Chains A and B, each alone.
Chain A
Amino acid sequence: MFDRLDPRSPIPLYAQVADRIKVAIVARELPPGTLLESVRALAARLRINPATVVQAYRQLETEGFVEMRQGSGSYVREISGDLRAKEQRREAEQLVRALVKEAGDRGIHIDVLRAAFAAHAGATA
């Protein structure tokens, strides 16, 4: 889940950690009620500052993805259809942005990309 953390990215590390967990929650890889790894364990495993993990967990709580229970840990919440849809739109935009940028770097015209996308979407529909 965390194998693509990138300290080079302008996105702060805590936001990257929060993002990865969000994706897993939305994909139901982490179903509601799941206890997230403790701050200490995750920080040690990723060798990042514990404060970074705390910040990531706080953001997840603010956005309604997890619930922090005093002295017990952070649990994945049941998320509403609205929140799931909103998060999936955000993830889709992120994927497309990366794809468009990569295509641009390779000099592929947007129309060619669009045609490839339509063909592929047609094939898997």
Chain B
Amino acid sequence: MSDLAIRTDGLTWKAGKSFTLDQVDLRVPTGAVYGFLGPNGSGKTTTIRALLGLLGPVGGKVTVLGHDVPTELPRMLAKVGYVPERPHLYQHFTVAQAIEYHAAFHAKWDANWAEHQRQRFGLALDRDLNRLSKGEMGKLMILLALAQRPELLLLDEPTDGLDPVVRRDVLSALVEYVDERKATVFISSHLVHELERICDWVGLMDMGKLVAEMPMGRFKAGVRRLKIAGVAPSPDSAPFTFLAREVRAPGVEEWLVRDWADGNEQWFAAQGATLKEVGALDLEDVFVELLRWARFDRRSA
């Protein structure tokens, strides 16, 4: 058993001449709930499709649950639950038929659990899939993925477009499953707030590149927005990592820093500047700032 549920080395893919995955090195620890963030069109769905061997030949190396993709694809797929961005189910099925159909493909299918969860979700057996609401379809998709009892779940925007009540039910079912099976979850979303509470790892995609990957604690905890009055010192000798500065008014600057630690305040006093405020950023702020700086770096590179 590997420590990494997903590993890609130099994953690269070109579609036509426009879109690429560019040297993506993912490291998803076994047992992590990994939030795969990025704006629309940044390459999240393409990456997930590459992990599932759906893209055809790609550059670089992809290993999922210790299996090489694509040479060991069938063995890997038997252990992976996938919820695509758009439901792919046959529209003329009823709920009962869809469950039966999926059960046939999966050796570890848990029929009791599926039935129990179906009742909790309030999905009627005789409903036609083409009559399901978007929310009901979302619930059915997660039910079908979880009933396979997968070791790894790949969820592509699983709650996109669902109302808050359904989103809640879907995420609760997911959390229960993770706790029960110690499964790894790889969940892509542009809804940052949704992932903030649930994920313990974060990867951030932008324009086909993985621009950041780290434990959630580090992603959030060390990042601060500082308000500085007086003559702002040079950040070169600072005990934290300086990311950006903005002049707000004459004599007032705002800094964005990471790796901030208690006691760093004193450095400003020693430099003869006044630190007026230390503000925490939520995940969405960090996300926006990191994208801004990733893009800025690329322009200046």
Chain A residues with CB under 8 A of B200: 49, 51
- CB-based contact A7/B196 at 8 Å: yes
Nearest CB in chain A: distance from B187 CB, A:
12
- CB-based contact A47/B197 at 8 Å: yes
Known: A7-B283, A8-B282, A12-B221. A48 touches B197 (CB 8 A): yes
Q: Does A60 contact B (CB under 8 A)?
A: no
Nearest CB in chain B: distance from A98 CB, A:
15
Contact of A10 among B173, B179, B180, B280 (CB under 8 A): B280
Known: A7-B283, A40-B180, A44-B175. A12 touches B217 (CB 8 A): yes
Q: Which residue of B lies closest to A54 (CB)?
A: B179
Chain B, 158-174, CB within 8 A of any chain A CB: 168, 171-173
- CB-based contact B168/A47 at 8 Å: yes
Chain B residues with CB under 8 A of A5: 197
Bound-complex Cα distance A84 to B274 (A): 39
Chain B residues with CB under 8 A of A43: 175-176, 179
Nearest CB in chain A: distance from B198 CB, A:
6
Contact string, A1-28, partner B, CB cutoff 8 A, digits 1/0?
Answer: 0000101111011000000000000000
Known: A7-B283, A12-B221, A40-B180. A47 touches B175 (CB 8 A): yes
- CB-based contact A45/B197 at 8 Å: no
Known: A44-B175, A48-B175, A49-B175. A9 touches B197 (CB 8 A): no
Q: Does A46 contact B (CB under 8 A)?
A: yes
- CB-based contact B176/A44 at 8 Å: yes
Q: Does B193 contact A (CB under 8 A)?
A: yes
Contact string, B225-253, partner A, CB cutoff 8 A, digits 1/0?
Answer: 00000000000000000000000000000
Question: By DSSP majority rule, is chain B's interface helix, strand, loop, or mixed?
Answer: helix
- CB-based contact A49/B199 at 8 Å: yes
Q: Which residue of B lies closest to A5 (CB)?
A: B197
Chain B residues with CB under 8 A of A47: 168, 171-172, 175, 197-198
- CB-based contact B33/A44 at 8 Å: no
Chain A residues with CB under 8 A of B145: none
Contact string, A46-68, partner B, CB cutoff 8 A, digits 1/0?
Answer: 11111100000000000000000
- CB-based contact B198/A49 at 8 Å: yes
Chain B residues with CB under 8 A of A44: 172-173, 175-176, 179
Q: Does B129 contact A (CB under 8 A)?
A: no
Bound-complex Cα distance A5 to B282 (A): 13
Q: Does A76 contact B (CB under 8 A)?
A: no
Nearest CB in chain A: distance from B117 CB, A:
12
Chain A residues with CB under 8 A of B217: 12
Chain A residues with CB under 8 A of B196: 7
Contact string, B138-164, partner A, CB cutoff 8 A, digits 1/0?
Answer: 000000000000000000000000000
Known: A12-B221, A49-B175, A49-B199. A7 touches B168 (CB 8 A): no
- CB-based contact B175/A50 at 8 Å: yes
- CB-based contact B33/A49 at 8 Å: yes
Contact string, B257-301, partner A, CB cutoff 8 A, digits 1/0?
Answer: 000000000000000000000001011000000000000000000
Which residues in A have some Cβ–Cβ distance to B below 8 Å? 5, 7-10, 12-13, 39-40, 43-51
Which residues in B have some Cβ–Cβ distance to A below 8 Å? 33, 168, 171-173, 175-176, 178-180, 193, 196-200, 217, 221, 280, 282-283
- Top 3 A-B residue pairs of the complex, sorted by shortest distance between their CB atoms: A10-B280, A8-B282, A50-B179
Q: Can you list 21 residue pairs at the A/B interface with Cβ under 8 Å?
A: A5-B197, A7-B196, A7-B197, A7-B282, A8-B280, A9-B280, A12-B217, A39-B179, A40-B175, A40-B180, A43-B175, A43-B176, A44-B175, A44-B176, A44-B179, A46-B197, A47-B168, A47-B171, A47-B197, A48-B198, A50-B175
